[in-house]
Amino acid sequence: MAYVGNTDADRRIMLKALGLERLEDLFADIPESRRFPELDLSPAMSELEILHEIDELAAMNGGGPRLMSFVGAGAYQHYIPSIVPFLSGRGEFATAYTPYQAEASQGTVQTIFEYQSMVADLLGMEVVNASHYDGATAVAEAAIMAVRSTRGRDSVVLADGLHPEYGEVAATYLRPQGIEIRSGGATLEELTDAIDDKTACLIVQNPDFLGRLHDLSGLADAVHERGALLVLHVDPIATAIFSSPGSLGADIVTGEGQPLGIPVSYGGPYLGLFATRRSLVRKMPGRLAGETTDAEGRRGFVLTLNTREQHIRREKATSNICTNQGLMALRAAIYLASLGPQGLREVAMLCYQKAHYAADRLASIPGCRVNRGDGAPFFKEFVLSTPRPATDLIAACAPRDVIPGLALSRYYPERTNDVLVAVTEQYSRAQIDALVDAVAAAIEGQAAGGVGA
């Protein structure tokens, strides 16, 4: 049953029907000394803590523990406040269609405008569209936009830390258009050296696919000196506590919006974040909602910019994006509004702290180490190197209802013993300890040649 709050007007009507003047008059028959007794209750808990406790109580009924997955790699188990599915599931949102007629779609256009405004503030950028299918397609569209914006340049450079699947999607988009894709290495020097007079943009993911955070200070200036644009792909949660991509000089910013109130859902639908600078807005794909006033001076919302061929001349269109993932953008807007700046910072800090707690505990297991590569810090994801093949380790943890992470051999065949582990605010200390126990048991089982070896 949905909770429906009463307004002050509702309360006045009910009190009048009861012949009372104040709400306190309802309790007049209760002795004053008995109205507010001391209750022996535990301290107040957050919504997430309450749900953890309910899960523990439910497990006592014999259903067993819930499967714990520490797989990330672009899709993360973040906590979603109950208000997000409740509001986004309302009929006027869930069944809304593309707002072709602004005068008949003010609610839908306003939600797009609010989404754009909050994401622009989060990313430190001037313009945000609404939106793309997912983070991978946003990266591909950013590359096309960069080529379109830097006339005569027809190649893009991808940093080594970009999600491998994003590179595959980009190739699917770019190669049929004759756009060359080149690898740029990992260090600042390697990336800038890879840029030549044919390079339209450099695309860098930060935190990268392996969770590492890189100091990108000065990168934008180096890229701009060579006449190219800088595209940064970011985790929107991380931007709450680290430098915004806008402050780092990015020209185009992309991201996977799934962490912002969208469930993993077997891989979609997700939300592609896309932002740019005002000077490039005419080359931006997708659509842009704006605020205006009507003939009587009343505030209203309109579709300010539409760059698909259905709205404008085909030769001037920038993309054939026909779905803007509006419902997912709405979920992100509700998530950001419900948490606010402080709440989002707390989520980011919990991710950082819990991931480091998990890394320290896992690294204490004999034969395991956290592989930080070049020593870069990490946010909520890290690589764990173990003494047994990652696929075997994951299978050995399954009887404990734990998936410890993603076997990196899926993308890098030579990294047979490396697991990519993701830890978010969703997990309690007890759950992280259960992860550590499962990994330790799997490794000890192999050493002893016993069960799960």
Per-residue pLDDT of the chain (453 residues; tens, 9 = 90+): 455 678 899 999 999 999 999 988 999 899 988 888 888 888 888 888 888 888 888 878 876 667 899 999 999 999 999 999 999 998 888 877 777 777 788 888 999 999 999 999 999 999 999 888 999 999 999 999 999 999 899 999 999 999 999 999 999 999 999 999 999 888 889 999 999 999 999 999 999 999 999 999 999 999 999 999 999 999 999 999 999 999 999 999 999 999 999 999 988 899 999 999 999 998 998 888 999 998 899 999 998 887 655 556 666 666 655 555 789 999 999 999 999 999 999 999 999 999 999 999 999 999 999 987 667 799 999 999 999 999 999 999 999 999 999 999 999 999 999 999 999 999 999 999 999 999 999 998 765 555 454
The CA-based dihedral angle spanning residues 412, 413, 417, 420, taken in that order and rounded to the nearest 10 degrees = 30
Report whether 237 contacts 344 (CB < 8 A): yes
**Separation between Cα atoms, residue 160 and residue 264, nearest integer Å:** 25
DSSP for 16-37, written as a single string: HHHT-SSGGGGGTTS-GGGSS-
Report whether 143 contacts 174 (CB < 8 A): yes
Cis bond upstream, residue 99 (ω within 30): no
Q: Domain 50-79+341-448 falls in which CATH fold?
A: Aspartate Aminotransferase, domain 1 (3.90.1150)
**Separation between Cα atoms, residue 131 and residue 218, nearest integer Å:** 29
Containing 349, the helix (H) or strand (E) segment is helix 326-363
Do 50-79+341-448 and 83-336 come out as alike in CATH topology? no
pLDDT at residue number 311: 59
- The sheet carrying 418-422 orders its strands as 369-371, 381-385, 418-422, 406-407
Strand-pairing partners, residue 407, are 419
**Separation between Cα atoms, residue 396 and residue 216, nearest integer Å:** 39
Give the Å distances, CA to CA, from 207 to 48, 75, 236, 343.
Answer: 26, 14, 10, 21
Q: Domain 83-336 falls in which CATH fold?
A: Aspartate Aminotransferase; domain 2 (3.40.640)
Long-range Cβ pairs for the range 58-63 (8 Å, 24+): none
**Separation between Cα atoms, residue 137 and residue 121, nearest integer Å:** 22
Strand-pairing partners, residue 157, are 182, 202
pLDDT at residue number 1: 45
Domain spans in the chain, listed from the N-terminal domain onward? 50-79+341-448, 83-336
Q: Write the burial class of residue 233 (CB in 10 Å: 0-12 exposed, 13-18 middle, 19+ buried).
A: buried
**Separation between Cα atoms, residue 436 and residue 358, nearest integer Å:** 8
Quick check: pTM over 0.75? Answer: yes
Cis bond upstream, residue 207 (ω within 30): yes
DSSP for 247-285, written as a single string: TTT-SEEEEE-TTTT---GGG-S--EEEEE-GGGGGG--
- The full length of the chain comes to 453
Nearest to 281 by CA among 394, 129, 144: 129
**Separation between Cα atoms, residue 143 and residue 147, nearest integer Å:** 6
Nearest to 100 by CA among 326, 333, 332, 319: 326
Residue type, 438: A
Collapsing DSSP to helix, strand or coil, 452 comes out as coil
pLDDT at residue number 362: 97
**Separation between Cα atoms, residue 366 and residue 129, nearest integer Å:** 49
Residue partners of 334: CB distance under 8 A and separation at least 6 = 83, 84, 87, 88, 261
Token code pair at residue 393 = 């380790």
**Separation between Cα atoms, residue 371 and residue 60, nearest integer Å:** 38
